[in-house]
Amino acid sequence: MEFLTNLFQGYPDLWGGGVAHSVLIISLVIAFGIILDKIKVAGVSLGITWILFVGILFGHLNLTLNEHLLHFLKEFGLILFVYSIGLQVGPGFFSAFKKGGLTLNTLAMLVVFLGVGMTILLHFTTQIPITTMVGILSGAVTNTPGLGAAQQANSDLHGIDAPEIALGYAVAYPLGVVGIILSLLVLKYFLRIKVDQEEREAVRGLGHLQELTVRGLSLSIRNEAIDGKCVKEIRPLINRDFVISRIRHHDGHETVELVNSDTILRLSDEILVICNPIDIDALTVFFGRPVEVEWEQLNTQLLSRRILITKPELNGKSLSQLKIRNTFGASITRVNRSGVDLVATPQLQLQMGDRVTIVGSELSVAQAEKILGNSMKRLNHPNLIPIFIGIALGCILGSFPFVFPGIPQPVKLGLAGGPLIVSILISRFGPQYKLITYTTMSANLMLREIGISLFLACVGLGAGAGFVDTIVNNGGYVWVGYGAMITILPLLIAGVVGRYVFKLNYYTLIGVLSGSCTNPPALAYSNELTSCDAPAVGYATVYPLTMFLRVLTAQLLIIVFS
């Protein structure tokens, strides 16, 4: 039985206890954590964070790894995690700063900075070390990258790991998950929300989602000024993004056909316009009046299909360069990118992995499909060069020292901030330089889950030795209360501001608040309250900036106050 003892506690004559020992411990911690992930109380689970608690238990039982190996695996897992997040959020990062998105992101920033302000205030009033308080902050807002950024910043600053960061995170995290959901419930009753009315407005895409969604609009042409003009002549007359998809001519035949740039518009013709909800009123006034038309039933020869962009040579090309309408007689009406629909304007540049909605006859759609690709097999093959080149550039950027007046130590973005920024920039601007950065959702998720699993397992193993003593003998139980304050108060304040100052729809508001804490369980709860996509759109709009700010502020708190 000696070999079992050595396998679990390490071989004394091998560095780090041996490869078999290290792999076994890491694998068991991750496996048991994922198994416990299935446990739900009132529909709420701690998710993958169970890996952290299993790691703490193993560490408490002295079933751990060599400290140098532990440090390497933790940092490597963190890099994989934040880089894959950047690839996911990058395409929509800058588009989230449109007028509607800017308002939502301003509210999310309020949540972030209120939490940071409370952390600083508690640090000075309670004399709890800033390392512990940053851990409590990261746990209270359920933000694991912030935990990694704080640990990495402290390691760069002092040359050693600070287990109290992980201890604060572990203590505050469970109530952080529950506290966010409780805050959303409290706001529902405090703000006296009329559920039916909020639901109707959210379904129509009103409020601050108007620039972040796409709608179809049927109009009857009543404007004599555009009678007899072609589509390309009227576009400069109204400064709005829109696509005219189909037209029904009232010339005695009432035929339905697709629209191209040379299509002539006549009075009483009916058109299907694809646009942002914010432009609906202006386009209605310009063209005529809204009508009810069942376009699918009028011409069964026309079909609508979503096609995946999978040909590398299309990466970075604009829709006007493809000449789909003129060549095949089909029309691209909208483009779905990272879960958000975009109006298919001529200048819109395509990216690998975009899903375009194309309308036309079966033959024309099939011909366009050959040009666009629509081959999942192409996308299933991961593009590893941008991933590892990006990680290398991220490490260089993260290690570069920036000097700011008033801060005694040079500031580094670290192994959390550097790869995150590089991945956002590469995924957003890479297609303009013919760089293919697309990875399938499954590949991205696999990379992300492996990274976060390694990171949490190593953090737990490193913090396990002192966890029980900290909670029982050193007042760690008080941290739960501090974490609850950091979780709930900023959300309640921001909820009131969002409702009464920004006039947000309730379902958009709870999506934004869930995104400001980067909390998937809160988003799942929000989605269960409504059949519309307002919470998901609000969450996705603020998630990129919030994630970036959580990582950056965690590092700055350590650098400035440590």
- Helix/strand/coil (H/E/C) assignment for every residue in 6-18: HHHHCCCCCHHHC
Task: Say if CB 504 and CB 106 are below 8 A apart.
Answer: no
Cβ neighbours, 10 Å, residue 329: 17
13: its two tokens: 């004559």
Domains: count for the chain: 2
Q: Do 128 and 172 belong to one domain?
A: yes
Q: What is the pLDDT of residue 4?
A: 64
Residue 206 lies in a domain: no
Asked if residue 414 and residue 287 are part of one domain, the reply reads: no
Based on the domain organization, do 80 and 51 belong to the same domain? yes
Q: Based on the domain organization, do 345 and 445 belong to the same domain?
A: no
Q: How far is CA 20 from the centre of its chain?
A: 37
In a domain, 189, yes or no: yes
> Does 407 reside within a domain?
yes
- Of 343, 378, 413, the one marking the end of a domain is 378
Query: Does an H or E element contain 342, and which?
Result: strand 340-343
pLDDT at 171: 80
| pLDDT given at position 490 | 93
Roughly what angle, to the nearest 10 degrees, separates helices 414-429 and 144-158? 130
Containing structural domain, residue 427? 2-199+384-561
- The pLDDT value given to residue 434: 64
Q: Is residue 416 part of a domain?
A: yes
Question: In which residue ranges of the chain is pLDDT below 70?
Answer: 1-17, 41-47, 89-100, 202-213, 251-254, 298-300, 312, 315, 338-340, 374-382, 404-413, 416, 431-442, 466-467, 470-476, 520-521, 524, 527, 531-533
pLDDT of residue 206: 47
How many residues are recorded in the chain?
A: 562
| Cβ neighbours, 10 Å, residue 541 | 31
Task: Give the C-alpha separation, 90 to 547, whole Å.
Answer: 11
The three-point CA angle 494-499-501 to 5° equals 85
| Co-location of 229 and 251 in the same domain | yes
**pLDDT score, position 558:** 86
Whether residue 297 sits in one domain with residue 184: no
Q: Are residues 363 and 503 in the same domain?
A: no
Burial code of 62-92, b = ≥16 C-beta within 10 A, e = fewer? ebbbbeebbbebbbbbbbbbbbbbbbbbbbb
Q: Name the CA radius of gyration of the chain, rounded.
A: 27
Are residue 293 and residue 394 in the same domain, yes or no?
Answer: no
Single pTM value for the model: 0.65
The residue among 320, 353, 378 that closes a domain is: 378
Q: Are residues 324 and 299 part of one domain?
A: yes
CA separation for the pair 173, 181 (Å, rounded): 13
CB-based contacts of 109: which residues, under 8 Å, 6+ apart? 545, 546, 549
* Domain boundary pick from 353, 378, 403: 378
Q: Are residues 33 and 108 both part of a single domain?
A: yes
What's the CA gap between 150 and 553, in Å, rounded?
9
Secondary structure E strands in 137-279: 215-221, 242-248, 256-258, 270-275
Note whether residue 515 is domain-resident.
yes
Give me 334's structure tokens.
Answer: 């909208």
Exposure b/e, 290-322, CB count within 10 A at least 16 = b: eeebebeeeeeebeebebbbbbeebbbbebeeb
Q: Which amino acid is at 561?
A: F
Taking the mean position of all CA atoms in its chain, how far away is CA 68? 33
d(CA 373, CA 358): 13
Are residue 291 and residue 313 in the same domain, yes or no?
yes
Q: 298 with 394, same domain?
A: no
Q: Which stretches of 94-242 are DSSP H helices? A: 99-126, 130-140, 144-158, 163-190, 195-203, 231-234
Q: What is the DSSP letter of 402?
A: B
**What single-letter amino acid sits at 308?**
L
Confirm whether 130 is domain-assigned. Answer: yes
Strand-pairing partners, residue 337, are 340
Could you tell me if residue 205 is inside a domain?
Answer: no
Tokens of 224: 């004599």
The answer as to whether 454 is a domain residue is yes
pLDDT of residue 497: 92
